[in-house]
Chain A
């Protein structure tokens, strides 16, 4: 089965700083890639996804992610974070043709200081 690594456990930024959260996966086949966000006390919400086509995908709330196939990476970025972006961020990989199961990274907790 595929595995997903998120390198940063906890990231602390000041408002207006730029954000990049790393995500790497191990699976040689075709994948769908996702970033989810979980705000405190709330359930998971989809930020953005990559299925095919343009490897630079834009999601909600100003987030974007770039799929680099050669690096097996799908890093999440935002040019200028806000206090309201404080949340837990999960990268997920769905391995197509492999029971279609979904694996999540360990998550990165983002704290944005006002």
Chain B
């Protein structure tokens, strides 16, 4: 099946620093990528939808200046958590929508811990 890769899988950073998470579709082109956040023992919360070459659409309550999303190509989207704080510690998951079928494939997730 199609593969979506996230990097890094784990990241620990100091409060106030910025962290970039990459999401790549390895063997298919993705028109749309989605970024989710999963809190412990809870479901996935959609943060934003990003379409290649255009600005991301953020869900209500998600700060676009804090969670910068760039979707520069049909195989890569990045999420940058700017000036991270401990409350931003979470599990971030991306998914990519295959160009022709619309089927979603999920990355393995990135665990962010902000000290």
Query: Which A residues form the contact surface with B (CB < 8 A)?
Result: 32, 34, 36, 43-46, 49, 90, 94, 99-107
A99 to B57, CA, bound (A): 9
**A-B pairs with CB below 8 Å: how many?**
44
**Chain A binding site: helix, strand, loop or mixed by DSSP?**
strand
Interface positions of B (Cβ within 8 A of A): 32, 34, 36, 42-46, 49, 57, 93, 95, 97, 102-109
17 A-B pairs with CB atoms under 8 Å apart are A32-B102, A34-B104, A36-B106, A43-B93, A43-B109, A44-B44, A44-B93, A45-B106, A49-B103, A100-B102, A101-B49, A101-B57, A103-B46, A104-B36, A104-B43, A104-B46, A105-B43
Contact at B42–A107, with CB atoms within 8 Å? yes
Closest chain A CB from B2 CB (angstroms): 10
Other A-B contacts than A90-B43, A101-B34, 19 sampled, CB-CB below 8 A, are: A32-B102, A36-B106, A43-B107, A44-B93, A45-B106, A46-B104, A46-B105, A94-B102, A100-B32, A100-B102, A101-B46, A101-B49, A102-B46, A102-B104, A103-B46, A104-B44, A104-B46, A106-B42, A107-B43
Return chain A residues, CB-CB under 8 Å to B36: 104
Distance A107 CA – B59 CA, assembled complex (angstroms): 20
* Contact residues of B: prevailing secondary structure: strand
- On chain A, the residues within 8 Å of B108 by CB distance are 43
Q: Which residues of A contact B32 (CB under 8 A)?
A: 100
Q: Are A102 and B43 in contact (CB under 8 A)?
A: no
